[in-house]
Chain A
Amino acid sequence: MTVRIFSAIAALALFVAVPHLLPEFRLFQICLIAATALVVLGQIVVTGFAGQISLAQAAFVGLGGYGPAILATAWGLPLWLGIPLTAAAVAAGGFVLGQLTLRVSGHYLALATLAFTAIVQLALIHSDMLTGGAAGMAVPPFSILGLTLSKGGELYYLVVPVTGALFLITENVMRSRFGRGFAALRQSETAAEAMGLNVRRYKASAFAASGFLGAIGGAMLAILSTYLDPTQFGITQSIYYLAIAVVGGMVSTVGIVLASAIFVFIPEWLQAFQSYLGLVFSLLLLGFIVLRPEGLASLHSLRLGLNLLRSGEGTR
C-alpha cells in the first residue's frame, strides 16, 4: 500500500515539475504521446482485453476530432462541451456497431470494422458542407473560463490530466467484475455465455468504451494539430494504432504508453529519412507480432519494475 501512495505522490510531483524542466517543444511531444496513448487505450480495451479485433479506431478518432470542431464552427458550442458530447455520441455509435457485429468475430469482424473505417472516411470527404471535404477544416482553439490554451506548455495541463484520469479509470474497470467479464469473453465466447455472461452486452460495451476513448483521444490530437485532414483517418491510421497496441503488448497500459512514446519519437530520430517512416513502423509491427507477440510488456526489466510497483497490492 505504501508503495502505491509513494508512487502516486511521485507521479503528482513529476506532473508539476515537468513543465518547469522541459522546453515547449518537449511538452508538446508529451501531449502528443498522451493523446496517442489514449487512442490506443481504446484499441486495447476492445482488442486486448475483450479479444475483439477492431480496425475502427481511426474512424472513432476522426469522428472525435471532427465532432467538436463542427459543433464549434457551425453552432458556436465551446470545445470543452463539444468534446464530451461527441465522445458520448461516438460511444453510442460504438455500442451499436458492437451490437450489430455480435454475430461475427475474427476475420469477419476485422472486415466489418475495416469497411466501417473506410465508409466514415469517405463520408468525411464527401460531406463538404460540414467538414470542408478533402481539403479538411481548421480546429478552433480550446478555451475554458476565459483562458485559451494553444501552446504545448498550456495544453499540457489539459491533455495529460485527462489522459491520466482515463487511464486510471480504465485500469480500475478492467480489474473489476466487468474487466473479468472481458477476459472471459476473450478466452472463450461460448464458455463465457455458458457461465451466464451477457456476451452481446459485453461486446457492445467494449466497442462503446473503445469509441469513447478513441473520440476523446482524437479530440486531443485535433486540438494539438489544429487542423483536420481526412486522409489522417483511414485504414492506414487504424493499422498504425493497432501497431502501437501490439508493440505495447495489447493488455499492458504501461506498455502502450511506452510504445506511443516510441512511435512519437521515431519521426524525430529518423529526421533525414522521413520517406522510410512508414516502412519502419510497419516493420516494427511485423517484427513484434512474429518475434515478440507479447510486446514491450514482456521485456524482463519492464516486468520486474512493474512487479515492484505492484508488490504493495499483495498477492492476488
Chain B
Amino acid sequence: MLAQVLVSSATAGAVYAVIALGFVLIHKGTGVVHFGYGDQVTFGAYLALIAQVLIGLPFWASVVAALLLSVAIGALIYAGFMWPLRKASLLSRIIASLALGTVMREFLRAFMGPNAWPFPFLLSQNSVSVGGILVVPANLAIVGVSVLVLGVLFLLFEKTVYGKAIMAACDNQIGASIVGIRVSSVFMMIWVIASVLATVAGILMAPVLTLSPDMGFIGIKGFTAAVLGGFNSLAGAVCGGVLLGVLEALAGTYVSTALKDMISYGILIAIILARPQGLLGVLAIRKV
C-alpha cells in the first residue's frame, strides 16, 4: 500500500518540482516571485491545445509551436512589464505579476470558454502491474520528461559558460556586470527559460488534471514546493516538489482526500511561519 502511494505520488511530485524550479529561477534571478506563474503553466498547455485542435497541427508540431510561443511570451513579459517595473516597489511588482497571471487566466476564460477541454494522452492510461505495484505508463512518461528537463537545466547551470553567467548574475548583479556579463540579457534568458518550463509543466499536467482556465491554481502547489525546499535553492525546489507530492499522496490516502489541498496550504503557512528559508535554503539577511 505504502509503496503504491509513493509510486503514484511521483507524477505529481515531478511536475511540482518543474513548476517550483521555474519560481525559484525567476525569484533568484530577478527578485520577483511570479504570482502568475501557475496561470502561465495553464496558458502553455492551452497553446499546445489551440495549435492542435483549432489549427490542426499534429501533436508533436503543436508541442514545438507551444514551446516556441512560450519563448516569445517569456521575452514579452520581461520586456513589456518586468523591465519597465525594475525600479518599482516590491508591492507593485508583486501586484503586476498577479495581474499578468489574471490576464492570462481571464483571456483563456473569455476566448476558450470556462469549461474543461479534453487534452490528448500520448501513452496508454491503463495501468501495468510491476512486481505487485500498479504503474501507469503515461504517468511514468511525465516523471521521465520532468527528470530529463531537470537534468538539462542542471547541465546548463553547472557545465556551460552561459549557465554560469546566469547563476553569477543571480548571486551578484553588480559583480556580474563588472566581469562583463550583460545582466539585462541574462534576465531576459531567465524569463524565457521559466516560460518554457511553465509550458512543459502545463503540457505534462494537462492530461492528468482537467485543463480549464482554473488549472492555474496548481501554481499554489508550486509555491508550496518552492517554499518547502527554500526559495533560493534550485536543488531545494526539486526536493520540495517531490516531498510535496509524497506528503499530499500520504495525506490523501491516510487522512482525507477532501482535506488534501487544505493540508498542502497548511504546510505552506507553517513553513512560512516557522522556517521561511525552507528546508535547504539559507536565511537572507536584510541590510538596511
Contact = CB atoms under 8 A, between A and B. Distances in A.
Interface of A: 47, 51, 53, 100-101, 103-104, 106-108, 110-112, 114-116, 118-119, 122-123, 126, 188, 190-191, 235-236, 239, 242-243, 246, 275-276, 278-279, 281-283, 285-286, 289-290, 293
Interface residues of B, number: 43
Interface stretch (B9-17, B201-209, B245-253, B261-269): B261-269
B138 to A, nearest CB: 28
Contacts of B100: 286
Contacts of A101: 272-273
A28 B162 CA distance: 60
Interface in B216-266: 217, 220, 223-224, 227, 231, 258-259, 261-262, 265-266
Contacts of A119: 262, 265-266, 269
Given A126-B258, A286-B96, A279 B269 contact: no
A239 B35 CA distance: 11
A111 B258 contact: no
A242 B95 contact: yes
A110 B231 CA distance: 14
A282 B99 contact: yes
Contacts, number: 117
Contact of B99 (A53, A243, A278): A243
A129 B288 CA distance: 51
Contacts of A123: 262
B103 A53 contact: no
A276 B114 CA distance: 11
B272 A278 contact: no
Contacts of A236: 102
A51 B110 CA distance: 33
Contacts of A188: 288
B92 A107 contact: no
A286 B81 CA distance: 9
A289 B96 contact: yes
A24 B152 CA distance: 64
A41 to B, nearest CB: 18
B273 A112 contact: yes
Contacts of A242: 95, 98
Rank and list the top 6 A-B pairs by shortest CB-CB distance, nearest first: A278-B106, A282-B102, A286-B99, A279-B106, A107-B33, A115-B265
Contacts of B94: 53, 106-107, 110
B85 interface: yes
B92 A111 contact: no
| Central interface residue in A106, A108, A282, by most chain B CB within 10 Å | A282
B44 interface: no
A126 B260 CA distance: 12
A258 to B, nearest CB: 19
Given A103-B276, A118-B265, A275 B109 contact: yes
A122 B261 contact: yes
Contacts of B224: 115
Contact of B268 (A111, A243, A279): A111
Nearest to B100: A286
Interface of B, helix, strand, loop or mixed by DSSP: helix
A106 B102 CA distance: 19
A279 B107 contact: yes
Nearest to B104: A282
Nearest to A119: B265
Contacts of B95: 53, 242, 246, 285, 289
Contact of B103 (A51, A111, A286): A286
A126 B206 CA distance: 26
Given A110-B33, A286-B103, A293 B273 contact: no
B85 A115 contact: no
Nearest to A112: B272
B102 A112 contact: no
B91 interface: yes
A112 B258 contact: no
Given A106-B90, A285-B102, A100 B268 contact: no
Contacts of A283: 103
Given A118-B261, A282-B99, A283-B103, A111 B223 contact: yes
A293 B98 CA distance: 14
Nearest to B84: A290
A255 to B, nearest CB: 15
A316 B90 CA distance: 29
Contacts of B27: 107
